Homo-oligomer: A and B are copies of this chain.
């Protein structure tokens, strides 16, 4: 019983090494992966507690907790403007922010495929840590599992966010009222088209980058600009795009909507790419845009506040909430006609987030 016991034989080979099943077994190899890749990148006082969870400071007085959760299975893992790591921070930070809450903490669950390159994992985790630091929302706890080759696809990341919501604030999908104004924070379709441009079978030349970004700063600026209650609904139009998200809100609020096609901001390259591929930008995922349904008297102030923020520079008023027993989202087209903008029903873009 006097065997010398080093903690590890040698450090992980972060250049050429690969994930093997041992990294998910919960023993010494798991600990090494956590310490040399995850803990090093995310380093904060909560992870340093080294327990099965994180004990967090009490929420600010007069606030209630908010929880939001998002799985990320985007393919490819790296795309123009981001990667699954940054996306997994932004996606969940945004879900918390869309409740009108301040995002505070993230938990992250990694499901990694055997054989995945440690260099790619490190790149993703480092990007995630940078995104978390930039957002001011630390990853305070996490978990790592490994599945056999052919039972996963590189890495999947599920993140859960906790935020603080001021008592009395009520922002939600069921609160849109007839006469409210519909705002969008910028051009739509950028994320989906940027990802699509990287898919092997569909590669095309384009300067489009994903809009992936954390929107809680923009939300804070908006909420500071108008009286409590003026912002009825906030949503980030991810999967299914602007059209599907508006249909969800119309259904929840039991209202209709009338959009102005000409008012919806779309970057020319996205427009061109959609035409080329036979896609409709209204259904393409965004990861750094929000829709706000707002009281008509607050719309100008909100639009100004959005445009004054770097992530809302191209914000626009795109329509109004109408009375409609069918909860249709309709659109006045650029040619002056009208059409129903239905839910996404096909699958133009699988694994877009």
Cβ contact within 8 Å between B59 and A65: yes
Q: Answer whether residue A49 sits at the interface, using C-beta atoms and an 8 A cutoff.
A: yes
User: Does any Cβ of B come within 8 Å of A52's Cβ?
Assistant: yes
Residues 1-20 of A, flagged 1 when their CB comes within 8 A of B and 0 if not, give 10101010000000000000
Q: Does A55 contact B (CB under 8 A)?
A: yes
A179-187, A223-231, A273-281, A342-350 - the one binding chain B: A342-350
A225 to chain B, nearest CB (A): 22
B67 close to A98 (CB less than 8 A): no
User: What residues of chain B lie closer than 8 Å to A350, measured between beta carbons?
Assistant: 21, 24-25, 146, 148
Query: How many residues does chain A have at the interface if contact means C-beta atoms less than 8 Å apart?
Result: 99
The interface residues of chain B lying within 8 Å CB-to-CB of A99 are 51-53, 55
Cβ of A96: which chain B residues have Cβ within 8 Å of it?
Answer: 53
A330 close to B (CB within 8 Å): yes
Asked whether any CB of chain B lies closer than 8 Å to the CB of A235, the reply is: yes
A30-B239 contact given A58-B167, A111-B111, CB 8 Å threshold: yes
Q: Would you call A255 an interface residue if the criterion is a C-beta within 8 Å of the partner chain's C-beta atoms?
A: no
- Which B residue sits closest to A348, measured CB to CB? B25
Interface stretch (choices A100-108, A123-131, A292-300)? A100-108
CB distance from A32 to the nearest CB of B (A): 10
- Contact partners of A69 in chain B: CB under 8 A: 53, 107-109, 141-143, 160
Which residues of chain B come closer than 8 Å to A211, judged between CB atoms?
Answer: none
Q: Indicate with 1 or 0, residue by residue over A144-179, a CB within 8 angstroms of chain B CB atoms.
A: 111110111100101011110101000011100000
Q: List 28 A-B contacts (CB under 8 A).
A: A1-B328, A21-B347, A24-B73, A24-B239, A25-B348, A25-B350, A26-B285, A27-B240, A27-B344, A29-B345, A31-B343, A49-B174, A52-B235, A53-B66, A53-B95, A53-B101, A55-B64, A55-B101, A57-B64, A58-B59, A67-B140, A69-B107, A71-B143, A71-B158, A72-B145, A73-B145, A109-B160, A111-B156
Q: A25-B348, A146-B350 are in contact. List 6 more A-B contacts (CB 8 A).
A: A26-B344, A51-B99, A52-B98, A55-B64, A68-B141, A111-B158
